[in-house]
Amino acid sequence: MNRVYNFSAGPSMLPLEVLEKAASELVCYGESGMSVMEMSHRSPDYEAIINDAEAMLRKLMNIPDNYKVLFLQGGASTQFSAVPLNLIGRTGKADYVVSGQFSGKAFKEAQKMGYDVKCIATTKDDNFDHIPVVTKDMVRPDAAYVHVCFNNTIYGTKYSYIPDTGDVPLVADMSSCIISEPVDVSKFGVIYAGAQKNMAPAGLTLVIVREDLLEYADPKMPTMLEWKTMAENGSMYNTPPCYTIYMAKLVYEWILGMGGLEVMKEKNVKKAAVLYEYLDNQNYYLAPVKPDSRSMMNVTFVTGDADLDKKFASEAAKAGLKNLKGHRSVGGMRASIYNAMPYEGVEALVAFMKKFAAENPKA
């Protein structure tokens, strides 16, 4: 077996132990006589899988009892619509912080619906190289919610703090940092995340929502986007993404087995430190993100020469370091070092960066 180090931003690499466990159960799960992919979502075997997945996630994230856990479909991008449709009924207004491409898309989606939405902070003029400061006095007191994207996959930035929004519920897209470190769920009204970056294969979307916020949906909203309907039906109003939920369960089990999110954070801090320490102590590559806004999950850097950047990504791939090309909207390089990326993968990347710099002097 010749597995590469996969630095893809998503779908991303999964833990080898999880893949091996899934492979061993692919044809026949337990005593069921069938694959999870063939199983009725109404069967006792599958109900045990989805119930175990929720119980493990609750333990992992220490989710309070007054929050619902929903396993949905449609990706985080569908939640750009679902968030305002489910919450706008509180007051008819919503505030957004635009710190990158996806928070910008979420803001535009809410605008498109004709709601009273306001961008209260953005770092667009600085090419999203840092996280904006958000204070309580910036939030409209009668806003139904404040929306943020907690980790910006494309630009490599992350909130180092949880914004204080007072009595206004905070809604966070955590697609690229979910279960990478402990987070105080009680500080948020809603957390949502596409699973394909740090939790499972593509196809699953997680929503964690405080129960009291299930009562404000726009009455004209599509049933499939209504959180209350999904909560009342245990995420199975329709057929859920069964196999992806099973894979998420295996990932939760893997993290719990190593000691939980405190241990996961220690590993992620150590990995990111290796890469950032190298970037901070050389003059070949440029790291555009301000230090106080750096992401542990997505590390961006450039050479300053588009042709060299292209050559870097190409030669890295040949060396077994795949998917390092930056997002098409910003260029350069991006190393996504999610939970499943081993420490050795980051060491290998730094070694390659040193070699490439030595062999490709700038003009």
Per-residue pLDDT tens over the stretch 13-37: 999 999 999 999 999 999 999 999 9
Question: Can you name the residues that pair with 294 across neighbouring β-strands?
Answer: 157
Neighbours of 66 (CB within 10 A): 9
Whether residue 12 is contained in a domain is answered as: no
Name the pLDDT band for 298 (thresholds 50, 70, 90). Answer: very high
Whether residue 336 is contained in a domain is answered as: yes
Q: Do 107 and 235 belong to one domain? A: yes
Whether residue 35 is contained in a domain is answered as: yes
Q: Is the pLDDT of residue 292 over 80?
A: yes
Whether residue 302 is contained in a domain is answered as: yes
Query: Which of 235, 258, 281 finishes a domain?
Result: 258
Name the pLDDT band for 1 (thresholds 50, 70, 90). Answer: low
The CA-CA-CA angle for residues 9, 12, 18, to 5°, reads 155
Q: Is the pLDDT of residue 363 over 80?
A: no
The CA-CA-CA angle for residues 149, 152, 155, to 5°, reads 145
Question: For residue 68, what pLDDT is reported?
Answer: 98
Q: Is the Cα dihedral 132, 136, 142, 146 positive or negative? A: positive
* Of the candidate ranges 66-75, 77-86, 166-175, 329-338, the one whose mean pLDDT is the lowest: 329-338
Peptide bond into 201 cis (omega under 30): no
Rounded Cα–Cα distance for residues 36 and 53 (Å): 14
Task: Provide the residue range defining the domain that includes 215.
Answer: 17-258
Whether residue 9 is contained in a domain is answered as: no
Q: How far apart are the first and last CA of the chain?
A: 40
Whether residue 73 is contained in a domain is answered as: yes
Q: Is the pLDDT of residue 348 over 70?
A: yes
The answer to whether the beta carbons of residues 201 and 245 sit under 8 Å apart is no
Whether residue 10 is contained in a domain is answered as: no
When pLDDT is averaged across residues 99-107 and rounded to a whole number, the result is 96
Q: Do 44 and 178 belong to one domain? A: yes
Rounded Cα–Cα distance for residues 50 and 55 (Å): 9
Q: Is the pLDDT of residue 329 over 80?
A: no
**CATH code of the domain covering residue 280:** 3.90.1150.10
What pLDDT digit, counting tens, does each position of 213-262 carry?
999 998 888 999 999 999 999 999 999 999 999 999 999 999 999 999 99
In this prediction, what percent of the chain has a pLDDT beyond 70? Answer: 100
**CATH code of the domain covering residue 124:** 3.40.640.10
The answer to whether the beta carbons of residues 201 and 277 sit under 8 Å apart is no
The answer to whether the beta carbons of residues 150 and 161 sit under 8 Å apart is no
Output the CA–CA distances (angstroms, integers) from residue 162 to 130, 151, 158, 229, 293, in the order listed. Answer: 15, 12, 11, 29, 13
The CA-CA-CA angle for residues 341, 342, 348, to 5°, reads 100
Closest C-alpha among 211, 204, 210, 174 to residue 190: 210
Whether residue 26 is contained in a domain is answered as: yes
Q: Do 38 and 183 belong to one domain? A: yes
Q: Do 264 and 248 belong to one domain? A: no
| H helix runs in 122-241, sequence order | 227-232
Q: Do 267 and 175 belong to one domain? A: no
Q: Do 87 and 180 belong to one domain? A: yes
Nearest 10 degrees: Cα torsion 50, 51, 57, 63:
130
Specify the pairing of strand 157-158 against strand 151-152: antiparallel
Domains identified in the chain, total number: 2
Q: Do 68 and 158 belong to one domain? A: yes
Q: Do 271 and 170 belong to one domain? A: no
